[in-house]
Amino acid sequence: MGETNVKLASINPDAQKARDLLRIVIVGHVDHGKSTLVGRLFHDTGSLPDGKYESIKAMCERRGVPFEYAFLMDALQAERDQGITIDTSQIWFKTEARDYTIIDAPGHKEFLKNMITGAAQSDAALLIIDAAEGVREQSRRHGYLLHLMGVRQVAVAVNKMDLVGYEQEQFDLIEEEYRDYLRSIGVEPTFVIPVSAREGDNIANGSKSMPWYKGPTVVKALDSFLPNAPLVDQSLRFPVQDVYKFDQRRIIAGRIESGSLKVGDKLVFSPSNKTAKVQSIESWSARDDFTPPTEAVAGESIGITLDEQIFVERGELISHEEDAPIETEVFRARLFWLGHDPLTAGKSYKLKLGTFETPVTVQKVDRIIDTSDLSNSESEQVERNQVAEVTIRARRMLALDEFTNNGRTGRFVLVDNYDIAGGGIISMEGYADQRSMIMATKSTNITRVEHGVSIEERARRNGHKGGVLWFTGLSGAGKSTLAVALEKLLFEKGYSSYVLDGDNVRHGLNANLGFSPEDRAENIRRVGETAALFQRAGMLAITSFISPYRSDRDRARAAAGDSFHEIYVKADVETCKQRDPKGLYKKAIAGEIKEFTGISAPYEEPDSPNLVIDTAETPLEECLEILINYVERNFRV
């Protein structure tokens, strides 16, 4: 029987020290020499395994082609036979400074999903441009996608300088054109290096053929990149990956995406908004002298137990109370689409947000972005390999961050059928965090007082039921005009009714609110509650607010229950622009008013309004008649 002892004598403690590791992705247009550069890098730094050079030579001879360094990475027969990279590959490499994982990505448009797969794993990127062909479609798209995915460190290699006679002029032209492009998307490359991968110029060694170039070689440029540190100093974000009960312990397991936590911390679980304290941090070790940690930081896969047995599930996002994530049902995203079928407005997909999964609908394709010139176009669909801005709505509350605040909890993927079909980064532009609304019931220990008069008694006395007529629609659609006229007509017919209008409530009830998305949402929440009070008092409240967001209107509906009637005062943006009674559209178009509904902020049409009044098509008198009839039908007793 063989002995199974472990030998632990240490001869060289320094050699045991784990070296830093940096992951570099090589991207760029098809055939511009990415794989060749990796092969050459290995050759010139003496990193090829024994016999590899000879075996590549033999492969090339068998195929009757000149020596191809690219065969080091292009390992599949199909890749070698066609001289093209199909799938991304990884290889390990070291310089004196540190270790590298070199990720070779395919340049062909057809394999963009594989390029994304490679690029998403990298700390930094080397973008290759063929000196003879210049900046091409994928050179730009890859640059754009790197930026979108949050890869901030980029160097550029202008390759195949041998094909342009090592001329500085051609290099300068390409450098200028590509720097301009990168600058327009907010990227500053660390270096732009003229190289010949095939001949080995400026890869690991300098170049005799390009004495005019004074900058670093590719290897030096790689060594100048910095490793991406885990987000330890940010707010705590700890998605629940699973809950285990293998023994007496009920362990909540997951990986801390950012921030840190310690035993005793009070945690909030979003979106359920439950709270509990960390009782212990669990981990397993075979060592006898092991003491469990009392603190854990970003990057660690851990488990915790809680002081209270609250019910939590995979998908909840754990944070501290004071800096909890955004809660919303809707968000905006910039995404890339890889699906076989186009992404289509109105269609449903599965959202994967960290460990949370839920069905969502694409509410709107806001714009398609052409990554070549950054121009925009409109469409209902996002085709494969396109980049677009979209608005996405879930059927339940989500806990998330904006990508600019947290690169890890501010990104998501969409699944179409069985396939991951796209990925995107989150923005809340124009949308409010719902957290404060959800948490609005701050006072506890409240019991409602029973009224001495019932709803029915009030209705009998008044001759009509109480209710909320919630007018929603664009500015200039005619909400206020109709509301005031209706109020007068109702008064004449013996109804008690009262109009709640934007400017009026902002003078009193809502005087402390501004125009941030959160304040706007709070404004509507208070109006909704006030209208509900009028309704319970037996009156008809007519509210006249743009109220562009479904979540706000849903909340108002919840306040008044069945007595809530959503009335969509409908007119298209063009009509409203022409009416422009207060000159607001003009100012919004000129950019003087920011986030103006219909121009620079969204208007979410009602899903199933109780009544639609189309003021673009119908004269005012007729509109009023429809309204009066509606009220008589629904509220008269």
Ligand X SMILES: Nc1nc2c(ncn2[C@@H]2O[C@H](COP(=O)(O)OP(=O)(O)OP(=O)(O)O)[C@@H](O)[C@H]2O)c(=O)[nH]1
Contact between 258 and Mg ion (CB under 5 A)? no
Q: How far is CA 288 from the centre of its chain?
A: 44
- Choose the contact partner of 123 out of ligand X, Mg ion, another protein, none; CB within 5 to 8 A by kind: none
Among 30, 39, 69, 85, binds Mg ion (CB under 5 A): 85
Contact between 204 and another protein (CB under 8 A)? no
Q: What angle do CA 372, 378, 379 make, to 5 degrees?
A: 105
Contact between 434 and ligand X (CB under 6 A)? no
Query: Taking the alpha carbons of 477, 480, 485, 486 in that order, is the dihedral positive or negative?
Result: positive
Q: How far apart are CA 533 and CA 542, in angstroms?
A: 12
What separation, in Å, do the N-terminal and C-terminal C-alpha atoms of the chain show?
Answer: 95
Listed ranges 283-291, 448-456, 516-524, 602-610: which one lies at the site for another protein (CB under 8 A): 283-291
Give the nearest distance from C-beta 112 to Mg ion in angstroms. Answer: 14
What are the Cα distances from residue 545, in Å, to 22, 476, 549, 604? 54, 11, 11, 13
Residue count of the chain: 637
Contact between 159 and ligand X (CB under 6 A)? yes
Give the nearest distance from C-beta 35 to Mg ion in angstroms. Answer: 3
Q: 């006072």: which residue's tokens?
A: 443
Give the up-direction half-sphere exposure of residue 326: CA atoms within 13 A in the CB hemisphere. 22
Strand-pair category, 99-104 with 89-94? antiparallel
Q: 């290099």: which residue's tokens?
A: 171
Give the nearest distance from C-beta 91 to Mg ion in angstroms. Answer: 12
Contact between 118 and ligand X (CB under 6 A)? no
Active-site amino acid positions: 547
Q: What string marks each residue from 420 to 439 as x (binds another protein by CB under 8 A) or -? A: x--x----------------
Contact between 207 and ligand X (CB under 6 A)? no
Output 207 or 462, the one with its CB closest to ligand X: 207
Q: How far apart are CA 67 and CA 83, in angstroms?
A: 12
- Choose the contact partner of 108 out of Mg ion, another protein, ligand X, none; CB within 5 to 8 A by kind: ligand X
Provide long-range contacts, Cβ within 8 A and 24+ apart, for 555-558: 555/437, 555/524, 555/525, 555/528, 556/468, 556/470, 556/524, 556/525, 556/527, 556/528, 556/531, 556/532, 557/470, 557/528
Contact between 87 and ligand X (CB under 6 A)? no
Contact between 411 and Mg ion (CB under 5 A)? no
Give the nearest distance from C-beta 199 to ligand X in angstroms. Answer: 6
Among 24, 41, 80, 107, binds ligand X (CB under 6 A): 107
Q: How far apart are CA 29 and CA 32, in angstroms?
A: 6
Which residue, judged by CB position, is nearest to ligand X in the bound state? Answer: 107
Among 415, 438, 573, 612, binds another protein (CB under 8 A): 415
Give every CB contact of residue 58 below 8 A, 6+ residues apart in sequence: none
Contact between 291 and another protein (CB under 8 A)? no
Give every CB contact of residue 57 below 8 A, 6+ residues apart in sequence: 67
Output 29 or 237, the one with its CB closest to Mg ion: 29
Q: What string marks each residue from 181 to 200 as x (binds another protein by CB under 8 A) or -? A: --------------------
Among 66, 186, 214, 246, binds another protein (CB under 8 A): 246
DSSP 533-571: HHHHTT-EEEEE-----HHHHHHHHHHHGGGEEEEEEE-
Listed ranges 82-90, 210-218, 333-341, 620-628: which one lies at the site for ligand X (CB under 6 A): 82-90
Contact between 35 and Mg ion (CB under 5 A)? yes
Cβ of 22: how many Cβ atoms within 10 Å?
21
Among 32, 80, 237, 332, binds ligand X (CB under 6 A): 32
- The count of residues interacting with another protein (CB under 8 A) is 79
Q: Which residues of 44-66 are buried (b: 16+ CB within 10 A; e: fewer)?
A: beebbeeeebeebeeebeeeeee
Output 117 or 196, the one with its CB closest to ligand X: 196
Residue 521: helix, strand or coil by DSSP?
A: helix
Helix (H), strand (E) at residue 472: strand 467-472
| Segment 127 to 146, residues that bind another protein, using CB under 8 A | none
Give the nearest distance from C-beta 40 to ligand X in angstroms. Answer: 8
Give the nearest distance from C-beta 548 to ligand X in angstroms. Answer: 45
Listed ranges 187-195, 279-287, 358-366, 380-388: which one lies at the site for another protein (CB under 8 A): 279-287
Contact between 44 and ligand X (CB under 6 A)? no
Give the up-direction half-sphere exposure of residue 637: CA atoms within 13 A in the CB hemisphere. 15
Among 196, 207, 319, 371, binds ligand X (CB under 6 A): 196
Listed ranges 83-91, 461-469, 476-484, 517-525: which one lies at the site for another protein (CB under 8 A): 83-91
Q: How far apart are CA 567 and CA 543, in angstroms?
A: 10
| Segment 95 to 124, residues that bind another protein, using CB under 8 A | 101, 113-114, 116-117, 119-121
Amino acid at 97: A
Contact between 48 and another protein (CB under 8 A)? yes
Contact between 159 and Mg ion (CB under 5 A)? no
Contact between 60 and another protein (CB under 8 A)? no
Among 54, 57, 82, 92, binds another protein (CB under 8 A): 92
Output 215 or 342, the one with its CB closest to ligand X: 215
Output 33 or 339, the one with its CB closest to Mg ion: 33
Contact between 371 and Mg ion (CB under 5 A)? no
- Choose the contact partner of 163 out of another protein, ligand X, Mg ion, none; CB within 5 to 8 A by kind: ligand X
Contact between 62 and another protein (CB under 8 A)? yes
Structure-token pair, residue 310: 């609250």
Alpha helices, DSSP H, located in 150-295: 168-184, 218-223
Listed ranges 30-38, 414-422, 501-509, 534-542: which one lies at the site for another protein (CB under 8 A): 414-422
Give every CB contact of residue 254 below 8 A, 6+ residues apart in sequence: 238, 239, 240, 241, 242, 301, 302, 303, 318, 355
Contact between 68 and ligand X (CB under 6 A)? yes
Give the nearest distance from C-beta 106 to Mg ion in angstroms. Answer: 6
Structure-token pair, residue 446: 């409240």
Listed ranges 5-13, 166-174, 572-580, 607-615: which one lies at the site for another protein (CB under 8 A): 5-13
Cβ of 20: how many Cβ atoms within 10 Å?
10
Output 68 or 175, the one with its CB closest to Mg ion: 68
- The count of residues interacting with Mg ion (CB under 5 A) is 3
Output 83 or 293, the one with its CB closest to ligand X: 83
Strand-pair category, 266-270 with 274-282? antiparallel
E runs forming strands in 38-131: 89-94, 99-104, 124-130
Binding site for ligand X (CB under 6 A): 30-36, 68, 70, 83-85, 106-108, 159-160, 162-163, 196-198
Contacting positions for Mg ion (CB under 5 A): 34-35, 85
